[in-house]
Amino acid sequence: PYTSGKKLNIGNININSICINSNNPLFDVSNNNIKLTSLSLLADNHDVHVICLTETWLRDSIPDANLKIPNFNHVNRKDRRDGCEGVAIFARNDTTSTSIILNSTLEIACSKVSYAQSHVYVCSLYRPPNRILSSCNEFNDKFKKVHL
C-alpha cells in the first residue's frame, strides 16, 4: 500500500503498431513518430508513471534507444520474431524499475516498479483472439512465481 500519499498511475493502451516502418531496423521511430509524441502528451496530462502497450508490432532489430518517450527511461519489451503483436512497458524517470524475465510462450512483459517507497509488479499481456483461454492459467502460474 502507498502510505506516502503519492499514487502510482498506470496506463494501458493498444497502440496497434508503435512505429510507422518497423520493417526497417535502422528506422529511428523517435525522430518523427506521432504515436510516441501522443503517448508523451497523454502521460503528462494524466500524470502517468507507467505505460503498458500491447500490439507494438516491433522487431528485435529496433533498439530501445529508438523508442524514446520524454521523461521515461525504462523499457521492457517482448517482441515476436515476425514483428507482429508484442508488448512493452515504459516507466517514468522518477520511478525505479527492473525487468522481470519470464520464460513463457505468452506475449508478456513484467517489471517491478518502485515509487514513493513502495513497489508493484506491472505486467503487459496480449492474448490474441485465436489464443485459447487456458493461456490465462499459464499467466497466473507465471505471475505467482514473480510475486513470491
pLDDT in tens, 63-113: 888 888 889 988 899 998 777 889 999 999 999 999 998 888 788 899 999
pLDDT at 2 over 60: no
**pLDDT score of 99:** 94
C-alpha cell at 57: 508490432
DSSP 19: S
The pLDDT > 90 percentage for the chain reads: 36
Q: What is the pTM of this model?
A: 0.83
**pLDDT score of 8:** 92
Residues near 99 by beta carbon (within 8 Å), at least 6 away in sequence: 74, 76, 109, 110, 111
Instruction: Report the C-alpha gap between 133 and 148 in whole angstroms.
Output: 24
